Every structure is written in structure tokens, then in C-alpha cells.
Amino acid sequence: MAATLHDVARLAGVSIKTVSNVIHEYPHIRPATRARVEQAIAELGYTPNLTARSLRSGRTGAIALAVPELGLSYFAELAAAVIEAAEEAGVVVLVEQTGGDRDRELELLRSPRLKMTDGLIFSPLGMGQDDVDRLEVPYPLVVLGERIFDGPADHVTMRNVEAARAATEYLLASGRRRIAIIGAHEGEVIGSAGLRLRGYREALDAAGVAYDESIIGHTTLWHRSNGARCMRELLDRGAEFDAVFGLNDTLALGAMRVLQESGRRVPEDVAVVGFDDLDEAGYSIPSLTTVDPGQAWIARTAVSTLMERIADPDAAGPPRLLLADFRIVERESAPADRLAPAAVPTR
């Protein structure tokens, strides 16, 4: 059906290798021959069969990206950035969704479907530190996120603790003292929730503000609705606070909505800070002050690191930990200076 090197070669009256040479711009070809071959290529509309090329070369020109779910804006924006970076590097991206399910993540790691790619950028959510040795795989792998540390693969992630600490310090500096948390995970030490909560506590400790369990809202999945539900629970149990730190933007936006429904003004009564700097955070009402954790850099770095490992799989070198810079993005939901100082509840 589709034209092959053989067809072109026959039409041009040369060997298939000569056609191959023309395509790869091998220098020693007579102009006349080259012209004839090019003519034949055009005539047949020949395009190389990448599958055959892959088999021959051992490279596919594709990488895989595994994320929990594209429906989560954070991962959609991550995927967009990865695909863009990959395009610049000349490779395409195969996207898998794991649903954040540990079993599916483990299955994916040893799935032969990956044989169609040269390497994997993997953002686990269900796996944990105990699964660290499952990251020992026979292909180039770059791990994202904060579920697993000190693994055998390169790891690109953000400064969760420092960034969360900075966000909390920002709220403290603006005069808030009772900062509620939305999205904590019970007993978690690593993982986004655990690390960000640690940064929060560090900031409180440093400022001499007591940590108060009663204003810590727990929820497992970071879906939109959970931020709302979590905030509703806090309000229902009569928690008192003058600020909210949503452990990601989605949670913060859901929580902010419930706050407003309940008659509280943001930021006058309650300041709200998120984490991720989603596109959407700039367009909520009020717009959301948040932490830009350096996602764009993470995507670029993940791709370039993976491409390095692919280019040179043997010159392994020890696994690297690469950390993005973060910054606080100041918007309306939490101005740096407290606009309308309400009565601050003290303990």
C-alpha cells in the first residue's frame, strides 16, 4: 500500500541503499542520481516507515508520560508542558492515565506497552516509599512528584516544604494568625500533603504560633468538590480562622467558594492561598494568591533529563534529584498587606 524504499529504488533505477542514502543526506551522491531519486520519492509520495526504522535503530522517537488523570488541571498543564518540550526535542509523547491507583501504576511500570517508547516520565500517586525498588526498571525513567524519594531513577520535583513554608510565612506576615489547612492527609509524612503540611508547621513554629489540630481539614483526593466539602466540615464544627491555605489550587478554589457562600468575605474576613498556580487561579473571584512551584521548569527538565539518559543509557551516573524554584504569586485572595483587619480571634 504505502510506498517503501524498494518501490522508490525500482522507479529510480538504483539500489534501496542509495535511496536511503539520499534521504539521510549522505554526501557522496551524484547530483543526477540524487535528482532521480528525489523525483521518484515525490512521485510515489514516499515517507519512511518509522516502525521499521525503530526496529533497526532501537529507538522509537517516542516517550511515555504517565499521570493520574488529565481531568485534574495540574496534570493537564503538566502534560501540555511536557508535550511541548518533547516536541522541541524531536520526540512524541504517549500519554497514559493511571487514575492514581497503585496497582495500575505498578502494572504500568512493567507493561510491555512501554516497549514502544524510549523512556518514561512517571508521576505516581498511589505508590509510596515502600515501592521504591519497583522503580528499578530496564529503561530510562524520570520520576516526578513527591511520593517516592531516593529511588534508583532521576527525580524532578518541587520544593514542597520550602514553598509551603514561604506561603505560610506570607500569610503570617500579612497579619493572619489562625491559618486553616485544606487537604491534609492523616499521618502522611511524604507526599505533597505531608510535605506541604510540614512547611506550614515549620513556619508556625518559627513564628511562635501554636499548631492547632482543629483547623486542619483532611481530605484524600484533591478533586474540586473535596475542597468545598472539607471547608464545609470546618465551618460546621465551628472552627475559627482568618486565613486558609489550600494544599493545592483546586482545593483552595473549592474552599473559597464555600467561604463566600457562608457569607465570609475573601480576603477581608479570610485570606486564601493555594498551591500550583493553575491558569484558572488568575480568573477566580477573587483571583487566587498561590505558589508557582515551577511546573514549566519541571516539565522541561524532566524531558531533557530523560533524553540524556536515553542518549547515554550506560554512562548512568547516580540518580539525580532536581528541584525547581518556586515563587509566591500575589493576587487578590491574599494581599501582602491586610486590607480590612477584622477582629482576629486569639486562642
Which residue ranges make up the site for DNA (CB under 7 A)?
2, 4-6, 13-18, 20-21, 23-24, 27-30, 32-34, 46, 48-49, 52-53, 55-58
- Angstrom distances, CA of residue 99 to CA of 8, 55, 177, 193, 246: 46, 31, 37, 18, 22
Pick one of a copy of itself, DNA, none as the site partner of residue 16 (Cβ within 5 to 8 A by kind).
DNA
Pick one of a copy of itself, DNA, none as the site partner of residue 69 (Cβ within 5 to 8 A by kind).
a copy of itself
Nearer to a copy of itself, 195 or 272 (CB): 272
Pick one of a copy of itself, DNA, none as the site partner of residue 280 (Cβ within 5 to 8 A by kind).
a copy of itself
Nearer to DNA, 11 or 291 (CB): 11
Nearer to a copy of itself, 47 or 346 (CB): 47
Query: Which parts of this chain interact with a copy of itself (CB under 8 A)?
Result: 1-2, 47-52, 54-55, 60-62, 69-71, 73, 76-77, 79-80, 83-84, 87, 92-97, 110, 112-113, 115-116, 138, 224-225, 228, 253-254, 256-257, 260-261, 279-280, 282-285
Long-range contacts of 228-237 (CB under 8 A, 24+ apart): 228/254, 228/255, 228/257, 228/258, 229/254, 230/182, 230/183, 230/254, 230/255, 231/182, 231/255, 231/258, 231/259, 232/258, 234/180, 234/182, 235/262
Q: Report the candidate in 346, 168, 338 with the shortest Cα–Cα distance to residue 245.
A: 168
Nearer to DNA, 61 or 319 (CB): 61
Please report how close the Cβ of residue 29 comes to DNA at its closest, in angstroms.
Answer: 4
Neighbours of 257 (CB within 10 A): 17
CA distance linking residue 292 with residue 119, whole number of Å: 27
Nearer to a copy of itself, 15 or 49 (CB): 49
Please report how close the Cβ of residue 17 comes to DNA at its closest, in angstroms.
Answer: 4
Please report how close the Cβ of residue 11 comes to DNA at its closest, in angstroms.
Answer: 12
Pick one of DNA, a copy of itself, none as the site partner of residue 224 (Cβ within 5 to 8 A by kind).
a copy of itself
3-state secondary structure of 337: coil
Pick one of a copy of itself, DNA, none as the site partner of residue 347 (Cβ within 5 to 8 A by kind).
none
Please report how close the Cβ of residue 2 comes to DNA at its closest, in angstroms.
Answer: 7
Please report how close the Cβ of residue 23 comes to DNA at its closest, in angstroms.
Answer: 6
Concatenated DSSP letters for 13-63?
TS-HHHHHHHHTT-S---HHHHHHHHHHHHHHT----HHHHHHHHS--SEE
Nearer to DNA, 46 or 75 (CB): 46
Pick one of DNA, a copy of itself, none as the site partner of residue 253 (Cβ within 5 to 8 A by kind).
a copy of itself
Q: Give the single-character DSSP code of 160.
A: H
CA distance linking residue 286 with residue 252, whole number of Å: 12
Q: Report the candidate in 51, 95, 12, 74 with the shortest Cα–Cα distance to residue 275.
A: 74
Q: Report the candidate in 285, 294, 293, 278 with the shortest Cα–Cα distance to residue 261.
A: 285
Please report how close the Cβ of residue 309 comes to a copy of itself at its closest, in angstroms.
Answer: 14
Nearer to a copy of itself, 77 or 154 (CB): 77
